[in-house]
Amino acid sequence: MPELLDYEPVIFEPARGEEEPLSPVQEEILQLKKERNAIILAHNYQVGSIQRIADYVGDSLGLAYKAAETDAEVILFCGVHFMAETAKIVNPDKKVLLPDLEAGCSLSDSCPPERLAAYKEQNPDVYVVAYINCSAGVKALSDVICTSGNAVRIVENIPQDRPVLFVPDQNLGQWVAARTGRKMRLWPGSCYVHILFTVRALEKLKSRYPDAPIVAHPECTEAVRDMADEVCSTEKMVGFAKNHPADRFIVITEAGMLHRLHREVPEKTFIAGPTENCACNECRFMKMNTIEKVRDALKNLSPEITLPEEIRQAAYTPIKRMLDWSR
């Protein structure tokens, strides 16, 4: 007997029929994009209307590669601040726009550069692996960057003879340490969105959809990850859903991911992961970007990401190392 759910699950059913026509604002954005010679890069957590007009939608790793490769003059980055900052670090001569400069990240905020600098002073031989969800200041103090998509591979590559500090996400760090067998000190940071998914809430949902495999992001807690059939980055969730024989999936990550899955795997059903209080979970920072702000950013060529050159250069080295190691 399935447990009673005290909410209606958020479900993306298989797509039927044609997509709706673009709205006037979306049309305006496509026109402005041409005029500005701009590329629009969007993270998988952006609202559906933004994903629809983006040139590329993906995870942090895919977006970092796209940013590094583009020859557009303007990069309009629809994601959060650290992602746009990464695009600027690899493209010092391009204009990098973020629709709302306040779109931060709680995980990034949990590791201020001054605290990491103080730790390094006390532990001079430590090798710092920084998850890309951190500020340019933290990247500048790190040896190599990783994303959830390549963290295992990056950690397998780091020198064996050094103590390792993984910043800022303890959950991802713990998952990578278990996968690689590498002992790592973990910075005590976490993503406020992913730690809200709980075993109790998930068990209730699973009892209603026992046939639906669970796919979870590694930023979730270990107890939630242990319930998942697959733990992976947002990009890898697309491949998992495509290749798995199941018709429906429970997706334990930020709810914007369902838009991406729905577009890429239109014949399958996606059920949003629940928290204790809500049928799905959204990142308030990711959702600060709206379609109107995207239009305004292209119109005004602002707000723009800027960085002190010294920090940018220091942050570039570990990003470059990551891009080289994960090719």
Whole-number Å distance between alpha carbons of 323 and 291? 30
> Can you tell me which of 46, 49, 51, 60 binds ligand 13P, judged by CB under 6 A?
60
Contact 19/277 with Cβ under 8 angstroms?
Answer: no
Task: List, in order, residues 6 or more apart from 70 with CB less than 8 Å away.
Answer: 39, 91, 94
In the bound state with ligand SF4, the residue whose beta carbon lies nearer, of 28 and 254, is 254
Question: How many chain residues touch ligand 13P (CB under 6 A)?
Answer: 12
Q: Is 196 in the site for ligand SF4 (CB under 6 A)?
A: no
Phi-psi region of 301 (alpha: psi -120 to 50; beta: other; left: phi over 0): left
> Can you tell me which of 46, 86, 91, 106 binds ligand SF4, judged by CB under 6 A?
106
> Can you tell me which of 51, 86, 133, 171 binds ligand SF4, judged by CB under 6 A?
133
Contact 38/32 with Cβ under 8 angstroms?
Answer: yes
Q: Is 64 in the site for ligand 13P (CB under 6 A)?
A: no
Contact 51/263 with Cβ under 8 angstroms?
Answer: yes
Give the interface segment with ligand SF4, choosing from 113-121, 204-212, 263-271, 280-288 (CB under 6 A): 280-288
In the bound state with ligand 13P, the residue whose beta carbon lies nearer, of 85 and 296, is 85
* CB 151 to ligand SF4: min, Å: 14
Q: Is 254 in the site for ligand SF4 (CB under 6 A)?
A: yes
Which parts of 65-94 interact with ligand SF4 (CB under 6 A)?
80
The DSSP bridge partners found for residue 248 are: 269
Q: Is 105 in the site for ligand SF4 (CB under 6 A)?
A: yes
CA-CA distances (angstroms) from residue 98 to 82, 104, 125, 259, 285? 10, 11, 36, 21, 12
Q: Is 233 in the site for ligand 13P (CB under 6 A)?
A: yes
Residue 146 burial (C-beta neighbours within 10 Å; 0-12, 13-18, 19+) = buried
In the bound state with ligand SF4, the residue whose beta carbon lies nearer, of 49 and 281, is 281
Q: Is 326 in the site for ligand 13P (CB under 6 A)?
A: no
* 137: partner contacted, choices ligand 13P, ligand SF4, none (Cβ within 5-8 A by kind): none
Report the 10 Å Cβ neighbour count for 8: 7
* CB 147 to ligand 13P: min, Å: 5
Which parts of 205-224 interact with ligand 13P (CB under 6 A)?
217, 219
Tokens of 113: 């550069």
Question: How many chain residues touch ligand SF4 (CB under 6 A)?
Answer: 12
* 326: partner contacted, choices ligand 13P, ligand SF4, none (Cβ within 5-8 A by kind): none
The DSSP bridge partners found for residue 231 are: 216
Closest alpha carbon to 168 in 145, 190, 151:
190
**Residue ranges in contact with ligand SF4 by CB under 6 A:** 80, 105-107, 133, 191-193, 254, 283, 285-286
